[in-house]
Structure 1
Amino acid sequence: MDSYNSDFEKDIYRFWEENGFFKPEINPDGEPFSVVIPPPNVTGALHIGHALNQTLQDIFARYKRMCGYSVLWLPGTDHAGIATQTMVERDLAKKGIKKDDIGRQAFIEKIWEWKNTYGNKIIDQIKRLGASCDFSRLRFTMDEGLSKAVKKAFVELYNAGYIYKGEYIINWCPSCHTALSDLEVEYEEEQSKLYYLKYFLEDSKDFLIVATTRPETLFGDTAVAVNPKDERYAHYVGKKVILPLVGRLIDIIEDNYVDMGFGSGVVKITPAHDPNDFEVGKRHNLDIVIAIDDYGRMTHNAPDLEGLDRFEARKITVEKLKEADLIYKIEDYTHSVGHCYRCNTVIEPYISKQWFVKTKDLAKKAIEVVENTSIKFIPKHWEKTYFEWMYNIRDWCISRQIWWGHRIPAYTCKQCGEVFVSENPINKCPKCAGELLQETDVLDTWFSSALWPFSTFGWPDNTDDLKRFYPTSLLVTGFDIIFFWVARMIMMGMFFMKDVPFRDVYIHALVRDKYGQKMSKTKGNVIDPLDVIDKYGADSLRFTLAILAAQGRDIKLSYDQIESYRRFMNKIWNAYRFIEINTKDFKPNRSIQVYSSASLWIKSRLSKTINQVAQSLDDYKFNEAAESLYQFVWHEFCDYYIEMSKAHINKDEYSDEVKQTLLEVFEQILRLLHPFAPFISEFLWQKIPIRSGQSIMIASFPKSNSQNDALEQEFDLLIELIKAMRILRSENSIATNKKINFYLKPLNKEVEKIVQSYKKYILLLANAKDLSIIEKDVPKSFIQPTKYGDIFLEAGQNVDVEGEILRLKKVIEKAQTSIDFLNKRLRNDEFVSKAPKELTEKSKQELQEAILIKDNAKKRIEQLERVL
């Protein structure tokens, strides 16, 4: 191919897989390095968050593999209980079939059929990205081995007293008709109302004002509460109020939970319909009155409203309160409302009998291993988020009222009521020989995921993989599942394995659009990684994500950036083409002793770059590693060394040495590049005559050699002078192929000496006739100051000064027109309030660009007028 495209990526990936390069057995004697993939939903498709997560893991896996480690990056998928069941139910509904019509067993068989047909789609997509996972060890949270592990874990935790069944308030979806984990609840800002209600004191005309967003839940109130520090209400504590519309007397209590700044400082306590109220109710032994049932309908505890939908009941309740003069006022109010992540139904806090894991004791060791740095969070500030949750941890609801998942291995005797748990099915009661019924609920998906770092290696069997690769070395994940997955893996690892599940936890940021907004289909700002790979290649996407992945900072991604790093891939391709053409008949010779100064310089810079990339990767500073590599390859190697090599290739005694250096440095560049851009690096590496080995994947990561700081300083000088000469040429619109004279008034004799030594390179790279050393300023010239002296360019015949001034005045006029228009737009309140945020931001950016263009043109005119 004469130009870069990514058509070779699939062939390269097939080559890696067929040769087993992803397996840890490639480096059997290496120190183990293991990573388990955060299992994506088996229902899912690769999105940009996955692409970032997989890219960062793959960079580290490839880097460690090249450093000689025995690397196991273990892939797998999650059965995604609610999501998968919902998709299959929808698929059956198109055929007029309901799950209840065919029964549990037949429905589960349908899900397995669906999974076997569509379930590995995301694995194929992950491969498109270049992920070097060992797919021969692919796991699934419902495969036979993991199902065995889940049963074992449940039974052991139950027998140790950590699992129990009891009533608790949980997130409930009235539509999906199941409990939801906190992560399965998505919060959306909604415009609502804050209702201030009158709760009259017993035998009094006095009343307390209680603020609520959900007046329909008042039928479940069993107290009102004030903060014990709130002197306004201290004399009311211990008295009773009359529950509006019901007439039931409820107590006035005090509790630190009450926010004195919310509403009036008096809150209604509804233990059955609010998780915080539930905790208050437990502390004060309050009754639990259920006003809304599991279908989101009002119960018999709401007089005249029984059977109504909760939102319809809200309207009627407000009308009844108005009629009874029990509303003090109503205000507009914006707050976050939880929705089911699958069907978008507003979730209902609901009292239900569920299975729970007691977490307080399990959390103690999980806290300790982070405090003593057995586990490190990167960036470190995420430890605070982890600790805040762990120190205030609540029991974990692990049961779900669906069919797809690990059925809870608990059995209840129909005769004596005893409950038994067992890893294997049991039919008769061990106590009375009565018939046993298995629990119909399944386990929360996060329960199986919590076992992931050791169950995937074969636990509870003591397999070779478990002995060699547990604890894992690194976990790469998003901050949003620190609580729901990371914390639970640590708790389960410490309980079952008596050791941490991983050593380092790298928390990556969110990928947002170029304006910093969260990507969503409704906004139309989603970047599909598969579309990007088709258009730009996986390497371009990977390198873009890596160079933007600064610790603790969200990524603002745009197609322009991806296009920019596709140009970087093209730059590398063109460098290869130059080297290929100019070394075609050259026989590599590693015994060369004499090197040009340019070659000695690039070898020194390469050595420093190797150190910088390796150190940055060791510190999980992916962006700094990528940036160091980018700067070295694009600027130092391509823009300078390759250009300098033209002074020697086929021209002087350094000809063979320069060819050898081009090949050696480029081969090491490809190895440095490989973790970031594996496809192009492998493809080109296979073509380099001095490479050694079957694949760049299992070649060694480059080693740093000697560095020459003095030589690098000299080349810094000549590069700065070349840049200054190029700036003068560009500013004055002088064609790059026109040879012109420049002048240098050096800072001192040392600068003059260095310039004379490297004049051949300077003239070549600046395309200059000559660079003359002078002692005085050149009259009627353009000047470019540098820290090594001033560079001059005579105006003379090189520049049409008057014509350039006229052109720049037109530029100023055009820029001013844009400035006036954009200022008017941004000062228009109606535009600012109604326009999409991205349009406003774009207008602001265009305004700044127009101002900059105008200012630069004015400065340039001032320069031009000085030489007239």
Structure 2
Amino acid sequence: MAEEISKIYDPKTIEKQADSIWVKGNHFHAEASSDKGESKKAYTIVIPPPNVTAPLHLGHALNNTLQDIMIRFHRMQQFETLWMPGTDHAGIATQTVVDKRLRAEGKPALVDYKKMEAEGEKGREEFVGRVQAWKDEYEAQIIAQLKAMGCSCDWERIRFTMDDVCAKAVRTNFFRLFKDGLIYRGKRLVNWDPATQTVLADDEVEHEMVQGHFWYLQYPLVEPIEIDGEQIEHITVATTRPETMLGDTAIAMNPSDPRAKELVGKKVRLPIVGRIIPIIADEHVVLPDPDSEDDKAKFSTGFLKVTPAHDPDDYAIGERHIEEIAAVVMPKDCVEDARNYVFINVMAPDGSISDKFGWEDAVGTDAEFLLGMDRYEAREAIVEWFRQEKLLEDVREYAHEIGHSYRSHVAIEPYLSDQWYVAVKKPIEHLGEKFGTGLIERTDVPVNSLAGLALKPLLDGKLRFIPERYAKTYQGWLENLRDWPISRQLWWGHQIPIWVCGEENASLDDKLKTLEQEKRISTQTYQEKLYACVSESKDTKAVKILEKAGYVRDEDVLDTWFSSALWPFSTMGWPDETAELERFYPGDVLCTAREIITLWVSRMVMMGQYCVGKIPFKDVFIHAMIQDGQGRKMSKSLGNGIDPLVVIDSHGTDAMRFTLASMTTDTQDVRMPVEAMTLPDGREVNTSPKFDLGRNFCNKLWNASRFAMMNLEGTDPKKFDIKKMTIADKWILSRLSETSSDVTKALNEFKFSEPLTQAYRFFWNDFCDWYLEWAKPRMRDEQQKPIAQNVLAFVLDQILRLLHPFVPFITEGIFQNLNAIAPVRGLKGVAEINGSEALVSAVWPGDNKSLRNEDIEKQITVVQTAIRTIRDLRSKYNKKPGEKLIVSINSSQEISKILDENSELVCQLANLEEFTAAQNLEKPEKSAAMVVEQMQVYLHDAIDIEAEKKRLEKQKQQIENAKKGVEAKLANENFVNKAKAEVVEQARNKLTELTEQLKAIEDNLSQLAS
């Protein structure tokens, strides 16, 4: 006797029991080299590593639920599945959040540790220790959350982007890139985050629409001139950033401007600073047009202030005209680099105005009072100065986009800075043989460049995006990609493995030459300084030789995405030739969000090709974003976020997973209405009524399964007789076969709501509403009971398998109960089954086409239609549920035969005393009639004749209107000639059906009138 199944579905108990089974059986572990592993085909997903900045949110729950569905699906298909878990150090984000925490707690923060470091104390080491402690705390939380969500990762293989294994991969890749000449140092205009004081790559900048102003500032000409009889004493520039005027080194005009002939070559005196700067000609300048719809022309004065060190367009102008500008702004006989005078940086790294970073002519001018001011404070002061000097011509409101840091959310500052870069479009000679040479068609991207290595697989169809539209984002980014700045002015991260010699024009001594010959270091020269990259930073001997020779290690760390780009193979032990790498690389699919296609996806493909010679995955599935009910992104600032652990606690993990998966489509983002709730401990949290859908389903699954299993005690497969199967048995097996096929197909196409809906409908409608009801009386028939039990046990088993990837805990719990009650399941001669101790590793339902029977499905559809119609009549005429009814149906010979042969099924579920189905059957007196499809269903002794006449007249009018509409469509030659043949045929069939329905109603009315 099996243990009694609980009447109440308790998620917490079920989750604990299921997890214990999975852990005990080590079901999530992937074998890389054993006989067990080698006999199976591998299937790999590498988890997008969550940042260790904070606990996981609902977006993570969605992302990881979808990954787990694919992993469990393939595990049951008997793949050797590896889902590699881990976390990301998230350099700038984690350092920022830890610094904020320290300041909020009144403890020494980053600024204090930097002072310690400057004073010779171990400030950096101590601060990194603080961040490490944060990482340990939140990594543990994240792993616990993933487990609570039911994520079946290989927990023996947890990786971290800064652990020893990943760090070795980072150092190896950096050295190879450096040696190949793909990493270089350069002074360029970068995206600078004044809050975190570090550089950002282009894809780390978020553009936001901001309401700002155009300030129109007058710059006096050194020598006034006359144009068309008018005395010109100044020119007017329009700017949205007045604070940058301190670094102006030229004024540009479009050579097509009629005034250019007289003004180009003249000079202006820069207000406040007093610097003499030239007027130059450049076609980049937009000609003024007050009536233009183009804002640039509408707001333009025709004169562009050129600030090469603080604007990317101005930087390009400065590069084009460097000699022309330098001839004016440089002191005579000066032998310094002209760039120092053309590209003037007037800000400190924190965004304040400073003359310590390249600005040399501030002292002794009106500009001195601005030194030390914040950039926005300086903006106001400069505008006020122009106003007082009567040089502020106008102020106009202007809405425009401004780049903001994706981490600190402050406005970025274009900033001239020395950084380390990765050359993304430089051809890599030694990869030419493998990948080819030349440019990718219709692009300027070399095939054997890093950008080319990432782009070509997409164009060749080897890399696929689902949905396909996201491939355009990926392609467009790579085609227009600029070199990647990889150095970050942070302490938390992989410190760059480069040492620089403080002496200019230094050369390698014999010991260093030996290191280079042994390929333990590689060197480059930049601005007369020698830089040495160490192949392995743990090579203490090489480091000691460098430091003894006066070399100092670069203080910067690498961009977080540099290590994340290696994640698909660094986690498997690359550069070592490991069994994991051979078995599980490349992976199969990456499941991620659209906002990191450029930040992460492109770079993983790039580095996978460069380091391993293979793309890291074949498919990239981009899932929907979760929004609140108003379509807003969930965030802490809006207070509309939902903690997945709150949902798990209140509804259960499976309810959360069911809801998230059921809402996931490839066409739109997920809208989750948010409601506040108070927990028993008094905390105010958010939840959503949407999760009730999942809880209701789980309750239904538990209760229906429990009811089914109450009838399975003593199930004996030996007593199953294929010849005694009823039409209901054959129908449910046919529906099961079709559902299994549909669910499998949809999952292979990365559809999630569709297969869940298919499995859900089969369980809820076909199994619960119909088959279980038909099976009930058979359990009291000793001849039919063994047949019904075996079919019921088999179908329930298969339902659990189909639903398991979506709701793993409850299905595992029910499966264990089913194993206890009916341990041997299968229909001999019909559908064999492989038994399993745990559902998590059970075999996925196959597409057993032998179970398909379209004729039987058609017959049962007729039976179901009849039953539904009778139920509608019962309700319409207020017949009590327990009252036995007499019903007759007039229909075609074919349908009547089906109903007659299956009258027992009809009587059972419609609760009938008598039932007749025949062709040309007359309508009984006082019977209620309902016409459905090709059936006229009569409920005997049911009606008030006058009321029924009114009802039928109303129905007749509706059908006549519908019939006229179809007739009009078929009378339209354009429709008949141009519409698809099947569409026209459907219309004709509809007309036939409506005509038959109309005749049936008219016959009923005629009978009532007689």
Q: Residue in 2 aligned with 1:815? A: none
Paired residues of 1:170 and 1:349 also in contact (CA < 8 A): yes
Q: Residue in 2 aligned with 1:714? A: 859
Change (3 A) 1:17 1:250: farther
Worse-superposed segment, 43-52 or 781-790: 781-790
**SS of aligned partner of 2:495:** coil
Paired residues of 1:648 and 1:654 also in contact (CA < 8 A): yes
User: 2:389, 2:870 → 1: CA distance?
Assistant: 86
Paired residues of 1:732 and 1:799 also in contact (CA < 8 A): no
Change (3 A) 1:462 1:314: same
Paired residues of 2:282 and 2:317 also in contact (CA < 8 A): no
- Among 686, 693, 697, which residue is 2:836 paired with? 693
- Among 569, 573, 576, which residue is 2:698 paired with? 569
Partner deviation per Cα, 1:801-850 (whole Å, 9 max, x = no partner): 89xx9xxxxxxxxxxxxxxxxxxxxxxxxxxxxxxxxxxxxxxxxxxxxx
Q: Residue in 2 aligned with 1:2? A: 7
Paired residues of 1:427 and 1:435 also in contact (CA < 8 A): no
Change (3 A) 1:525 1:778: farther
Paired residues of 1:717 and 1:788 also in contact (CA < 8 A): no
The alignment status of 1:217 with 2:237, answered yes or no, reads no
The alignment status of 1:16 with 2:26, answered yes or no, reads no
Tell me by how many angstroms 1:96 deviates.
Answer: 3.0
Which one has a bigger Cα radius of gyration? 2
- Aligned ranges 1:115-126 → 2 under 5 Å: 115-126=135-146
Change (3 A) 1:495 1:666: same
Change (3 A) 1:557 1:222: same
Q: Residue in 2 aligned with 1:842? A: none
Q: Residue in 2 aligned with 1:449? A: 564
**SS of aligned partner of 2:668:** coil
The alignment status of 1:389 with 2:477, answered yes or no, reads yes
The alignment status of 1:56 with 2:87, answered yes or no, reads no
Partner deviation per Cα, 1:24-52 (whole Å, 9 max, x = no partner): 22644111111110110123211111111
**SS of aligned partner of 1:334:** strand
The alignment status of 1:703 with 2:846, answered yes or no, reads yes
- Among 301, 305, 308, which residue is 1:271 paired with? 308
Partner deviation per Cα, 1:214-269 (whole Å, 9 max, x = no partner): 222232334556778x8788868956674565564344443469695424355544
Amino acid at match of 1:404: W
- Among 77, 94, 97, which residue is 1:84 paired with? 94
Q: Residue in 1 aligned with 2:463? A: 375
Q: Residue in 1 aligned with 2:754? A: 624
Q: Residue in 1 aligned with 2:185? A: 165
Amino acid at match of 1:660: N
Worse-superposed segment, 619-628 or 10-19: 10-19
The alignment status of 1:143 with 2:196, answered yes or no, reads no
Worse-superposed segment, 143-152 or 334-343: 334-343
User: 2:295, 2:886 → 1: CA distance?
Assistant: 75
Q: Residue in 2 aligned with 1:254? A: 282
**SS of aligned partner of 1:560:** coil
Tell me by how many angstroms 1:777 deviates.
Answer: 6.1
User: 2:925, 2:884 → 1: CA distance?
Assistant: 20
Q: Residue in 1 aligned with 2:955? A: none
Partner deviation per Cα, 1:763-800 (whole Å, 9 max, x = no partner): 33334455555746678876654323244557957999
Amino acid at match of 1:786: V
Paired residues of 2:238 and 2:299 also in contact (CA < 8 A): yes
User: 2:161, 2:946 → 1: CA distance?
Assistant: 73
Worse-superposed segment, 768-777 or 439-448: 768-777
- Aligned ranges 1:318-717 → 2 under 5 Å: 318-360=383-425, 361-415=449-503, 416=506, 417-422=529-534, 423-424=536-537, 425=540, 434-558=549-673, 559-589=688-718, 591-594=720-723, 595-651=725-781, 653-688=783-818, 689=822, 690=824, 692-705=835-848, 706=850, 707-717=852-862
Worse-superposed segment, 216-225 or 546-555: 216-225
**SS of aligned partner of 1:167:** strand
Paired residues of 1:446 and 1:485 also in contact (CA < 8 A): yes
Partner deviation per Cα, 1:58-111 (whole Å, 9 max, x = no partner): 111111111111111101101111232234334544363242345112322333
- Aligned ranges 1:198-209 → 2 under 5 Å: 203-204=224-225
Tell me by how many angstroms 1:381 deviates.
Answer: 1.3
Paired residues of 1:782 and 1:795 also in contact (CA < 8 A): yes
User: 2:151, 2:876 → 1: CA distance?
Assistant: 45
Paired residues of 1:508 and 1:552 also in contact (CA < 8 A): no
User: 1:257, 1:74 → 2: CA distance?
Assistant: 52
Worse-superposed segment, 685-694 or 283-292: 283-292
Change (3 A) 1:289 1:741: farther
Partner deviation per Cα, 1:671-698 (whole Å, 9 max, x = no partner): 1111111111111111112362221111
Q: Identity of aligned pairs, percent?
A: 39
Worse-superposed segment, 580-589 or 452-461: 580-589
User: 2:415, 2:929 → 1: CA distance?
Assistant: 76
The alignment status of 1:99 with 2:211, answered yes or no, reads no
Q: Residue in 1 aligned with 2:132? A: 112
Q: Residue in 2 aligned with 1:129? A: 149
- Tell me the TM-score normalized by structure 1: 0.86
**SS of aligned partner of 2:707:** helix
**SS of aligned partner of 2:55:** coil
Amino acid at match of 2:455: I
State the Cα RMSD in Å. Answer: 3.2
User: 1:198, 1:721 → 2: CA distance?
Assistant: 87
User: 1:175, 1:620 → 2: CA distance?
Assistant: 41
Paired residues of 1:56 and 1:546 also in contact (CA < 8 A): yes
Worse-superposed segment, 644-653 or 550-559: 644-653
Q: Residue in 1 aligned with 2:85? A: 75
Paired residues of 2:627 and 2:634 also in contact (CA < 8 A): yes
**SS of aligned partner of 2:589:** strand
User: 1:297, 1:398 → 2: CA distance?
Assistant: 24
Paired residues of 1:195 and 1:211 also in contact (CA < 8 A): yes
Paired residues of 2:217 and 2:238 also in contact (CA < 8 A): yes
Amino acid at match of 2:530: E
Change (3 A) 1:322 1:454: same
Q: Residue in 1 aligned with 2:377? A: 312
Partner deviation per Cα, 1:473-499 (whole Å, 9 max, x = no partner): 111111100111011111111111111
User: 2:414, 2:182 → 1: CA distance?
Assistant: 24
**SS of aligned partner of 1:648:** helix
Change (3 A) 1:540 1:431: closer
Q: Residue in 1 aligned with 2:981? A: none
- Aligned ranges 1:233-244 → 2 under 5 Å: 238=264, 242=268, 243=270
Change (3 A) 1:653 1:430: same
Q: Residue in 2 aligned with 1:175? A: 195
Tell me by how many angstroms 1:743 deviates.
Answer: 5.0
- Among 866, 890, 893, which residue is 1:749 paired with? 893
- Aligned ranges 1:26-45 → 2 under 5 Å: 27-45=37-55
Worse-superposed segment, 362-371 or 291-300: 291-300
- Tell me the TM-score normalized by structure 2: 0.74
Amino acid at match of 2:840: M
Q: Residue in 2 aligned with 1:292? A: 347
Tell me by how many angstroms 1:736 deviates.
Answer: 4.2
Change (3 A) 1:59 1:583: same
**SS of aligned partner of 2:735:** helix
**SS of aligned partner of 1:249:** strand
Q: Residue in 2 aligned with 1:860? A: none
Paired residues of 1:241 and 1:252 also in contact (CA < 8 A): no
**SS of aligned partner of 1:687:** helix
Amino acid at match of 2:308: P
**SS of aligned partner of 1:119:** helix
Change (3 A) 1:326 1:794: farther
User: 1:765, 1:328 → 2: CA distance?
Assistant: 87
Partner deviation per Cα, 1:684-721 (whole Å, 9 max, x = no partner): 11111236222111111001222101111112222233
